[in-house]
Amino acid sequence: MEMQEGTSKVAELEAFRNELVEYDKFYQRHFDSEELTRDETRRLGQLYENISCKVGSLGPLITELTGIDKIDIQGRKHDMWLIALSSPMDPLAYRVLGDCIHVVNRAIGRLEADIQRGYRDKNGDIKEKAGLSTISGEKSKSVPKKVWRWAKANKLWSIIIIAIPVIAALLYVIDYFWKLFS
C-alpha cells in the first residue's frame, strides 16, 4: 500500500487514481447485478482500505491543488470522500466516486504543471524562489518571503488575506461618500 521511498507524488496520485478506477469498476458490476467471486470480494475490501488510508494521506494535497473537498447534495456541502466510500453501495456514492476520480485527475494535472513550472518539487512541496514565497502554486509578486514566514508563524496569514479586501472596500466607501458630500 505504501509507495517506495523516492516515488514522486505524481506517481502516488496516479496509483491512487488507478485504485479508484478499479473500485469504480466493482461498483459498476454491483449495479449491473453481477455477483463477485470470493477473490473479487477480498480485492474490493483491500481497495476500500487502501483508498481510505490514501484519502487521509493524499486528501489534503488533492484539496490544496484543486480546492475541492466537498460536494453539493441538495444544497448542503458534504465530504466527497465520505459519500464516495459509504457503505452499502448506492447510486449516489457511485456518482460521487466518479467525481472523486475527476478531482484526482485534476490534482495530477495541476501538480505536474506546478512541478514543470518550478513551483513545487517532485514530492509536491511548494518551493520558494527568488526571495518571494509561492502560495498555492502561484507566485506572490509583492510580498517578501520574510513577511509570509512571520504571518505563517503567527497564524496571521489568513487574517491578512481577509483584511486586504475589507480595507479596499472601506476605502471605496469612504471615497464614495467623499465625492457625494463634496
- Based on C-alpha coordinates, what's the Rg of the chain? 22
The alpha carbon of residue 4 and the mean position of all alpha carbons in its chain are separated, in whole angstroms, by 22
Which residues have C-beta within 8 Å of that of residue 149, sequence separation ≥ 6? 133
Q: What angle do CA 140, 143, 148 make, to 5 degrees?
A: 95
The pLDDT value recorded for residue 140 is 46
Conformation bin of residue 36: beta by default, left when phi > 0, alpha when psi is -120 to 50: beta
Torsion of CA 19, 23, 24, 27, to 10 degrees: 180
Q: Tell me how far apart the terminal alpha carbons of the chain are, to the nearest angstrom.
A: 70
Q: Which three cell numbers stand for residue 129?
A: 524562489
Instruction: Confirm whether pTM is higher than 0.75.
Output: no
Residue 16: how many other CB atoms lie within 10 Å: 24
State whether residue 171 is helix, strand or coil: helix
Express each pLDDT in 121-160 by its tens digit.
888 888 875 333 444 444 444 455 555 565 566 655 566 6
DSSP-derived secondary structure letter, 71: E
User: Nearest-CA neighbor of 62 among 12, 121, 132, 127?
Assistant: 12
Give the C-alpha separation, 106 to 68, whole Å: 10
The pLDDT value recorded for residue 136 is 47
pLDDT band at 172 (very low <50, low <70, confident <90, very high): confident
Give the C-alpha separation, 171 to 168, whole Å: 5
Express each pLDDT in 39-63 by its tens digit.
998 999 999 999 999 999 999 999 9
Under a CB-based contact definition with an 8 Å cutoff, are residues 83 and 93 in contact?
A: yes
